[in-house]
């Protein structure tokens, strides 16, 4: 693990390098703290998906893990949101994401930290990781777009494509298929699209206002940004230094038809863990095997 300090729902829509198990640390300010862990047995249920051909396999990723997680308190009083564990899974959200990325062929991950960064770095130093992890710490909040740009500078292969994900997403699907979709469309950026279930019951009526049926937690009629991406190498230069890429970079790419949307396959489990209720619901869904997602 390297640290650089410085500036649900079930959708209804259509090995890592083997490094020696050792760690070195350099604790001077602004200097990296390194820990390259061997391939882990953690989350062994993460089964790699058969790859589709792409021009360049995607083997690096960024995880945005710097948020305050205020809506998840008290769980985030002593840890950042990605280290919160969904009851019954035995692993924090970040552990699940790293195991999934490794199973999909990723060998290097950059984690962008902020809130309680030292706690996250300590967890990485002691965890049995399935890939190499470097952390970068924002000296001041840069926004999601600025955070992505800052973290992308630490990627080991800047001339290759990369994945990115928010640090509060629990899902599993074929990232290789998404990367192939991205390549086939010659996109600069591709975002995963989810169709989560509405958290309220719906009422169906006829044209005369007669109630016909009650539908519990139906699928949303709209697709949403699932917080998972594939980016081409040139994307990083298009990001703002500070601010939100969804208000700047994405609209520009959409106008030039270089932004693609990959709809998650039907039956894939996806949930953003934003609140204590999300934790409870996710625990129930995963225990029941919703979407067939392995823990």
Task: At 188, list the tokens.
Answer: 């600069």
CB atoms closer than 10 angstroms to residue 185: 15
- Distance from C-alpha of 39 to C-alpha of 128, rounded to nearest angstrom: 8
- Distance from C-alpha of 244 to C-alpha of 224, rounded to nearest angstrom: 17
* Cβ neighbourhood burial of 81 (10 Å; 0-12, 13-18, 19+): buried
Could you tell me the sign of the dihedral formed by the alpha carbons of 17, 19, 21, 26, in that order?
negative
Q: In this predicted structure, what is the pLDDT of residue 119? A: 87
Question: The pTM is what?
Answer: 0.74
Give Cβ neighbours of residue 12 (< 8 Å, ≥ 6 apart): 195, 197, 219, 266, 267
- Calculate the CA 259 to chain-centre distance: 18
Asked if 64 and 82 touch (Cβ cutoff 8 Å), the reply is: no
Task: At 273, list the tokens.
Answer: 């863990």
- Calculate the CA 165 to chain-centre distance: 3
- Distance from C-alpha of 277 to C-alpha of 34, rounded to nearest angstrom: 36
Residue 139, H or E segment:
none
Q: In this predicted structure, what is the pLDDT of residue 87? A: 77
Asked if 126 and 78 touch (Cβ cutoff 8 Å), the reply is: no
DSSP state of 85: B
Q: What number of helices (H) and strands (E) belong to the chain?
A: 7, 15
Q: In this predicted structure, what is the pLDDT of residue 120? A: 86
Q: In this predicted structure, what is the pLDDT of residue 174? A: 93
User: Which residue in 32, 23, 6, 5 sits closest to 156, CA to CA?
Assistant: 32
- pLDDT per position in the chain (295 positions), as tens? 554 444 344 333 343 444 434 433 333 334 334 444 433 333 434 445 444 444 679 999 999 887 666 666 766 667 778 888 887 788 888 999 999 999 999 999 999 987 788 888 998 988 888 999 999 998 787 888 888 999 999 999 999 999 999 988 888 899 999 999 999 999 999 999 998 777 778 898 988 888 988 887 777 778 989 999 999 999 999 999 888 888 889 999 999 999 999 999 888 888 888 787 788 888 888 777 764 444 4
Q: In this predicted structure, what is the pLDDT of residue 18? A: 44
Tokens 């970040």, residue?
94
- Distance from C-alpha of 143 to C-alpha of 241, rounded to nearest angstrom: 9
Q: In this predicted structure, what is the pLDDT of residue 60? A: 97
Q: In this predicted structure, what is the pLDDT of residue 31? A: 39
- Distance from C-alpha of 147 to C-alpha of 166, rounded to nearest angstrom: 11
49 to each of 15, 99, 100, 241, how far by Cα in Å?
A: 12, 13, 10, 35
For the chain, list the strands marked E by DSSP. Answer: 2-6, 9-10, 22-24, 34-36, 60-65, 108-113, 132-138, 162-166, 169-171, 189-194, 202-205, 211-215, 224-231, 259-263, 269-272
């Amino acid at each position: 693990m390297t640290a650089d300090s410085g500036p649900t729902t079930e959708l209804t829509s259509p090995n890592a390098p083997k490094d020696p198990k050792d760690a070195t640390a350099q604790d001077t300010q602004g200097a990296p703290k390194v820990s390259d862990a061997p391939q882990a047995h953690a989350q062994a249920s993460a089964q790699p998906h058969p790859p589709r051909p792409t021009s360049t396999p995607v083997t690096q990723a960024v995880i945005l893990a710097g948020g305050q997680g205020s809506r998840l308190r008290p769980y985030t009083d002593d840890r950042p949101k990605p280290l919160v564990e969904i009851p019954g899974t035995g692993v924090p959200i970040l552990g699940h994401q790293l195991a999934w990325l490794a199973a999909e062929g990723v060998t290097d991950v950059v984690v962008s930290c902020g809130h309680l960064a030292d706690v996250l770095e300590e967890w990485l130093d002691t965890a049995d990781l399935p890939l190499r992890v470097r952390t970068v710490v924002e000296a001041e909040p840069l926004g999601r777009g600025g955070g992505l740009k800052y973290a992308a500078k630490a990627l080991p292969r800047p001339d290759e494509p990369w994945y990115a994900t928010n640090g509060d997403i629990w899902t599993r699907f074929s990232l290789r298929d998404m990367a192939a979709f991205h390549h086939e469309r010659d996109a600069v950026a591709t975002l995963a699209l989810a169709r989560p279930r509405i958290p309220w019951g719906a009422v169906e009526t006829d044209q005369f206002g007669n109630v016909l049926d009650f539908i519990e937690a139906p699928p949303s009629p709209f697709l949403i940004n699932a917080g998972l991406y594939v980016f081409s190498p040139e994307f990083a230069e298009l990001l703002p230094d500070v601010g939100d890429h969804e208000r700047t970079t994405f609209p520009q790419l959409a106008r030039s038809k270089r932004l693609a949307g990959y709809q998650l396959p039907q039956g894939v489990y996806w949930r953003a863990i934003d609140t204590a209720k999300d934790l409870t619901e996710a625990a129930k869904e995963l225990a029941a095997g919703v979407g067939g997602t392995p823990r």
